[in-house]
Structure 1
Amino acid sequence: MADTETETVLPSEPQSRHVVYCGVCSLPPEYCEFGGTVKKCQDWLQKNHADMYDRLWSEDALAAATSTLSLDAQKRAEKDAHKKALKAEAAEQKHLQQIAESKVTIKRVERNKRKFVTTVTGLEAFGLENKKVAKDLGKKFATGASVTKVPSGGEEIVVQGDVSEEIEEFLLEKYKVIPEDNIELVEDKKKKGAGAGG
């Protein structure tokens, strides 16, 4: 009789859990240290989930985690943590430098008499997906927009119509990760008489 009573006390359906995912590296905060952006992750966690930050990264939590280690292991852990921090900082500096040097090129290309397409290249350097941006551009300008491969090995977005200045405004408004100085407008005119043989 006792066995049947305990069975009825248990919940009949599994209970769901609320899991917090880091806004920087998208891992659960307990695993951010393996993501390579520890400092940014810690700042995000402290701002958005202060109680969880205190539980994971406060001085007391860190001291408790290392207290069970031997002195040699504690020294190694400190050394490893320092190396990881330096490595993450160097990677972040390299990424910021790459972004500063990268250019988004918006080119107006003449196809036939008074027919134009606009191409956009260089978005990958800013962590943007060409297919997603092409879809956004197609919706915004109610026109065809596709991603094509270029001979140099990269990809470009081809948008039907002469919308180069509008695309620049749209990119600056929607994708704040692109600095205004890193956008370059180019006009590519078709050479006259190139098709004539003489």
Structure 2
Amino acid sequence: MAEKPQPVQVLYCGVCGLPAEYCEFGPDFEKCKPWLIQYSPQTYPDLQGANVKDVDGVTNQLQSATITDGVSGSGSSAPKQEPVKRLPGGKVKKKEKQEVIIEKVTRNKRKSITTLKGLDLFGVKLSDASKKLGKKFATGASVVKGPTEKDQIDVQGDIAYDIVEFITHTWPDVPETAIYFIEDGKKVPAV
């Protein structure tokens, strides 16, 4: 009889969690190098020539830098930089602007729907906002997924005439300068 094949034993990196042979494609190969030299020197033979103390010195610098970044010193006034968010492929994710966009969509020639986008960026809970809008304007209002897969509020009817005053009155965190209308495909300030 033929022997049963044994399962392959995979060595996972203790730093990034990837299999050791894929560390070079991981988020930070430099942090993985000391671990690879110590536990898996056969995976990357070009690292064997590197001095472990040199690589350990780099990781110690990285660790001390992260420790000092977490503790705010009384004498240092260096501005704290926000970490850059990256999308798959290395593209930098753009930070969303805090703005409320109001758009009126007409359907069946007479009926219209007013959509509000971006109200959640100011810390407003959309379900509560839709209830308040429905009560104030005596119409149906609901939270739906928009075309960009982000939540928005759809309110039945053309309420664009009073909505700016209602938003700034109900949620004082939303400045009037951050509210825009979409008219003829162009973004127009509500002020």
What range describes the TM-score normalised by the shorter chain of this pair? 0.3 to 0.5
Higher relative contact order (CA 8 A, sep 6+): 1
Q: TM-score, normalised by structure 2?
A: 0.47
Identify, as 1 or 2, the structure richer in helix. 1
